[in-house]
Structure 1
Amino acid sequence: MLRTLTTFSLLLVGFRAAGAQAANSFAGSNLYYAAGLYDDDRTTLLEGLQSAGMKVLRVWLDGQSETQKGTNISPFPDLEPTQICDGVASCYNDTVLERLDDFMVAANSYGIKLLIDMHSYNALAAGDVYGAAYGIEDFYTDSDAQSAFDQRLIHVVNHVHTTLGQPWKELNDYIFGFEAENEAMIGDGQTFIEDHQQWQCDRATTIKGQLGGNSGILVMTGGESWMAESVQPDFLSCDALDVISIHAYGTGDYDTSSIESYVSQAQSAGKMLIMEEWGACYFNTSNNDCPTGAPLASDTRNANIKQWAGTITAAGLPWLYWEVIPNADPHWGSDYEIGLVDDPSWSTLQDVAQAALGATAAFDFSPYLL
């Protein structure tokens, strides 16, 4: 049965957020290769997000060299393309940062801020300079790796915007939040994540130390593979973390009552939650196992989007969809994408994103939005 967002249910969400200031929710999207968009596609994307009332776009710093999700891009290298720079300013290749300088100014004009992931597990596992030097376990346990990676984080937040003339850490009108890494530690399994929770807090402490306490920019975790893995007790007790980012594709994690149990934990800890990655599979497979398959009927996929966005919103969580793309969706593997060109699910995603703006949230993100 589809759960609908009635006025009464929205009021109940507000009452359940005991001690939290009533505020409206919001929606947004992810686009990991945003730094590579040509101007026309950037405009198409931002106009589309604005039409849906979306407020945040999450972007990554990993280099990209070829077409992504059917989007032709201008290639750009990794921030540390050939070696770990360990704080040597001349060693970093700032192309991706400078591309995002332009992007964030354009996004601001559409009422959108950027959420910036400063590294990703994907790059580590693919053998970037950190993966080559340390592998996917020692990167999180070796003190030299942590020290060098902290220098990367410091370099990013202190990057001076090429036209605004201010470091990113001062640009709270343009930047929603920073995350040290997308899905840190997921390749090492949930037990490893549980045993090494301090890695997140240490990286957040590095970032917060640069931002200061009243920057107007959030420090976030970058998510894990599912709800229980994403919300760890030591994340909730870490002073430097503002927001716990949830990534979830299993439909059980979209259930309102399940989400509410995590909302209560976060409220008790004085933290905020966001459903930072979720999506509705294009194929007829399990939603969290979406590599290929027969296409779902558009009506079925649209019903899934309506249902799951509704239950996430009803639990009081803002959300970022994985992901809106500025072109027709080529339906490559692991296809959760919704294209802005001729996609029968785009109008549905627009509707549920606009509905989120009118819904009561469990957390007050309003000071961080345009």
Structure 2
Amino acid sequence: MKFSTFFTGVLFSFASLSTTYAAKSFSASNLYYAAGLKEAQQTTLLQGLQSAGVKVLRVWLDGQSETTKGTPIDSFNSLQGDSPTSWDDTVLNRLDGLMVKAHGYGIKLLISIHSYNALEGKKDFYGKWYGTGNFYTNTDAIAQFKDRIAHVLAHVNPSNGKTWAQSPEYIFAFEAQNEAMHPQGNPTALASWQCTMAQSIKSALKNSQDILVSTGGGAYLSNSLLDPYFSCAALDVLAIHAYGTDDFGTAKLKPYVDRAKSSGKKLIMQEWGACYTDASNNNCNGGSPISASTRDANIKKWAAQIDAAGIPWFYWQILPNPDPHHGWDYEVGINDVNWGSLKEAGLAASKAEAAFDFGKWLL
């Protein structure tokens, strides 16, 4: 009888510990032109993100100018211009300050080292010299992009006197490219490129586990998670980009969660959003505005479905200003229409049980 009581107590204690220390999920956001934000805009954004429980902000290194998504920004050039040696570190220098400020709000950065958008738009020499096909297979392009990775991770932040590779207090993860080979005309080449670049990032990190290495998503759920990604040792995180509402379904996401766990990988829903109009959610370009209450319900429903699958999510995008409702309209402005619902969803994510423990990499 005494043994039985003691044994039951031990089981209860272990069960309590398991419940207490269960991994929690989190919410995050994207703002590809964050390096252009003025000081007051940074404050508005970071205060808003913190109030919504956001833990990570994903940023890009491609140049931006003038007013973007209704945000009047300080223009900056792309990291590289018309040749492999035409470096412009303005974007890195701007992000030095932003990551320090974000830290004060409990937020880290996820840094996308390049974007398929820049490649497709021929905004730098990669697009002009190699195009969207040869970029992933040309040996010179691969070597030059490895140099880009090394340059970014060797950049020194004057605030801590350390390279970005040595700054896990500010940086959550690096990814090689946003939506690499978006149309995926050659998935075998893409998978090889992703793993090669992940290995290059790991090398620049000196194989430290303090900053994660991620993919940059695809066009939808299944092509964000190509089979070879699960066996690439250098990839820690596999990122999902999805806007079709079927891809938000808990039952559809769960098999990928199970596969990731069995492969030693983590998943994030790195891009998703709720369309402002009645256009198809995966083609939110045109259409008529839906009611605020309908969109509120969509945001909360889809976020909850992703939460239920155990996957942290990054909304596309939270703006420091009212949403101007341009094309491809998923954005939500802080303190603007639908902000209350997105904020509620973000806070709910922080209480949801996660399939993956990211605690080590969050503030």
* Structure 1 position 162, deviation (Å): 2.4
Q: Which has the higher contact order (CA 8 A, sep 6+)?
A: 1
With the length of structure 1 as denominator, give the TM-score of the two structures: 0.91
- Partners of 2:62 and 2:115 within 8 A in 1: yes
The 5 Å alignment of 1:72-83 reads 72-83=72-83
Q: Quick one: which of 126, 134, 151 aligns to 2:121?
A: 126
Matched with 2:156 is: 160
**2: CA distance, partners of 1:200 / 1:26:** 25
- Superposed CA deviations along residues 301-351 of structure 1, whole A, max 9, x for unmatched, are 01100110000000000000000000011000000000014x220010010
Corresponding letter in the other structure for 1:276: Q
Matched with 1:356 is: 349
Unaligned stretches of 5+ residues in structure 1? 1-14, 16-20, 86-90
Say yes or no: does 1:368 pair with 2:361. Answer: yes
Runs of 4+ residues over 2 Å off in structure 1: 193-196, 212-215
* Structure 1 position 260, deviation (Å): 0.3
With the length of structure 2 as denominator, give the TM-score of the two structures: 0.93
**1: CA distance, partners of 2:302 / 2:153:** 34
Q: Quick one: which of 134, 139, 142 aligns to 2:138?
A: 142
* Structure 1 position 84, deviation (Å): 1.8
Matched with 1:151 is: 147
* Structure 1 position 213, deviation (Å): 2.7
- Partners of 2:276 and 2:295 within 8 A in 1: yes
**2: CA distance, partners of 1:52 / 1:173:** 21
- Partners of 1:22 and 1:363 within 8 A in 2: no
Matched with 1:4 is: none
Q: Secondary structure at the match of 1:97?
A: helix
Q: Quick one: which of 96, 113, 117 aligns to 1:101?
A: 96
The 5 Å alignment of 1:232-247 reads 232-247=226-241
Q: Secondary structure at the match of 1:100?
A: helix
Matched with 1:31 is: 31
**2: CA distance, partners of 1:171 / 1:92:** 22
Q: Secondary structure at the match of 2:155?
A: coil
- Partners of 1:169 and 1:215 within 8 A in 2: no
* Structure 1 position 190, deviation (Å): 3.5
Say yes or no: does 1:269 pair with 2:273. Answer: no
Unaligned stretches of 5+ residues in structure 2? 1-14, 16-20
**2: CA distance, partners of 1:153 / 1:285:** 38
- The structure with the larger Rg is 2
**2: CA distance, partners of 1:191 / 1:95:** 34
Work out the percentage of aligned pairs sharing the same amino acid. 53
**1: CA distance, partners of 2:200 / 2:188:** 21
- Partners of 1:36 and 1:99 within 8 A in 2: yes
Q: Tell me the number of residue pairs that the alignment of Structure 1 and Structure 2 aligns.
A: 343
- Partners of 2:180 and 2:190 within 8 A in 1: no
* Structure 1 position 233, deviation (Å): 1.2
**1: CA distance, partners of 2:318 / 2:74:** 18
* Structure 1 position 214, deviation (Å): 2.8
* Structure 1 position 194, deviation (Å): 4.3
Task: Give the alignment's Cα RMSD to 1 decimal.
Answer: 1.2
Matched with 1:18 is: none
